[in-house]
């Protein structure tokens, strides 16, 4: 049985702790948190410490702290194999002098919402190739999908995720603003939002692209611009131009 120590009490740490504590094949030995209060809401019985000096050895020590703290925290850890969970941080930013790796679950986590790790992609990277099997067992135990991803690829995935998540959510925000202004319930758009997300499972986004921008339907574009306020208008123009330029590039 693989033993694990989790360092951190933020979003990712919280969800990993909950998930590992529900899996029989993984032994969650200990959790480190700076502030013991952070873990008080947990209804599970795991040894907790607020001192890195008292950290127990484990097969895998998972640092799930903010990106900025990874180097500093890892420099204080002597455990044999230390991984971080960050999309945006190179493996070599770990400062432990022992073996290093990355265990990055690619998903958007919020504390208030339970996470089902089934099918969540785990981006795995190791310094020492024989450590890969151990990370694969951890990811498998949680039901995740396994991807071998280098630090360079992972940084780019993180940018791609900003488009697929943060910027996409902003599109939803713009749509909701328009609905609110005209007393239209936002839930009227939900089936369209789902279908749009679903479609790119089967079609490439290039083939799925529809609408006035790609059709160069200037009349509809003009009608739409007339309905928008100045900041909406500006964004609509940029996005229309970006779609049209992209069409040309391909």
Does residue 242 bind a copy of itself (CB under 8 A)? yes
Task: Tell me how far apart the alpha carbons of residues 201 and 116 are, in angstroms, rounded to a whole number.
Answer: 20
92 is a contact residue toward a copy of itself (CB under 8 A): no
Shortest separation between residue 242's beta carbon and a copy of itself, angstroms: 5
- Give the residue among 84, 159, 97, 176 at the shortest CA–CA distance from 123: 84
Binding residues among 163-182 for a copy of itself as defined by CB under 8 A: 163-176, 178-179, 181-182
Binding mask 120-149 for a copy of itself (x = CB under 8 A): xx-x-----------------------x-x
Backbone angles phi, psi at 112, to 5 degrees: -75, -10
Kindly tell me which of 78 and 220 has the beta carbon lying closer to a copy of itself: 220
| 196 is a contact residue toward a copy of itself (CB under 8 A) | yes
Site for a copy of itself in 30-59 (CB under 8 A): none
User: Encoding tokens for residue 54?
Assistant: 């008292």
Q: Assess contact for 104 and 86: CB atoms under 8 A.
A: yes
Q: Taking CB under 8 A as the rule, does residue 18 contact a copy of itself?
A: no
In angstroms, the first-to-last Cα distance of the chain is 50
Which is nearest to 123 in space by CA: 22, 12, 28, 30?
12
Distance CA(227)–CA(25), nearest Å, equals 57
- In 3D space, the residue among 148, 150, 140, 149 whose CA is nearest the CA of residue 119 turns out to be 140
65 binds a copy of itself (CB under 8 A): no
Based on the shown chain and the rule CB under 8 A, indicate whether residue 184 belongs to the binding site for a copy of itself.
yes
Does the protein bind a copy of itself through residue 204 (CB under 8 A)? yes
Q: Does 216 bind a copy of itself (CB under 8 A)?
A: no
User: Which member of 37, 40, 56, 195 binds a copy of itself (CB under 8 A)?
Assistant: 195
199 binds a copy of itself (CB under 8 A): yes
Out of 205, 216, 218, 222, the only residue in the binding site for a copy of itself (CB under 8 A) is 205
Point out which span in 22-30, 52-60, 128-136, 196-204 binds a copy of itself (CB under 8 A). Answer: 196-204
Helices and strands in the chain: count of H runs, count of E runs: 10, 8
Which positions ≥6 away from 83 have C-beta within 8 Å? 60, 61, 62, 63, 94, 100, 101, 102, 103, 135
Contact between 93 and a copy of itself by CB under 8 A: the answer reads no
The answer to whether residue 188 forms part of the interface with a copy of itself (CB under 8 A) is yes
To a copy of itself, the closest distance from the beta carbon of 219 in angstroms equals 8
Distance (Å, whole) CA 231 – CA 44: 48
Query: Looking at 25, 78, 108, 128, which residue binds a copy of itself (CB under 8 A)?
Result: 108
């Amino acid at each position: 049985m693989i033993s694990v120590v989790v360092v951190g009490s933020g979003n990712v740490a919280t969800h990993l702790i909950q998930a590992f504590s529900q899996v029989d094949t993984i032994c969650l030995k200990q959790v480190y948190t700076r502030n013991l209060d952070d873990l008080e809401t947990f209804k599970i019985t795991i040894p907790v410490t607020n001192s890195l000096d008292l950290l127990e050895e484990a097969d895998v020590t998972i640092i799930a702290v903010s990106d900025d703290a990874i180097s500093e925290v890892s420099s204080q850890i002597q455990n044999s194999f230390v991984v971080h969970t960050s999309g945006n941080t190179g493996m070599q930013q770990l400062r432990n002098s022992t073996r290093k790796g990355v265990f990055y679950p690619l998903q958007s986590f919020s504390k208030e919402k339970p996470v089902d790790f089934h099918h969540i992609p785990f981006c795995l990277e190791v310094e020492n190739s024989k450590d890969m099997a151990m990370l694969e067992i951890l990811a498998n135990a949680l039901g995740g999908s396994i991807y071998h991803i280098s630090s360079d690829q992972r940084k780019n995935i993180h940018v791609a995720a900003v488009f697929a998540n943060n910027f996409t959510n902003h599109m939803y925000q713009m749509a909701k603003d328009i609905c609110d202004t005209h007393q239209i319930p936002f839930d009227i758009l939900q089936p369209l939002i789902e279908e749009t997300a679903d479609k790119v499972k089967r079609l490439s986004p290039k083939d799925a692209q529809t609408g006035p921008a790609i059709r160069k339907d200037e009349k509809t574009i003009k009608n739409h611009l007339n309905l928008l306020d100045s900041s909406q208008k500006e964004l609509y123009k940029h996005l229309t131009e970006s779609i049209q330029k992209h069409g040309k590039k391909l």
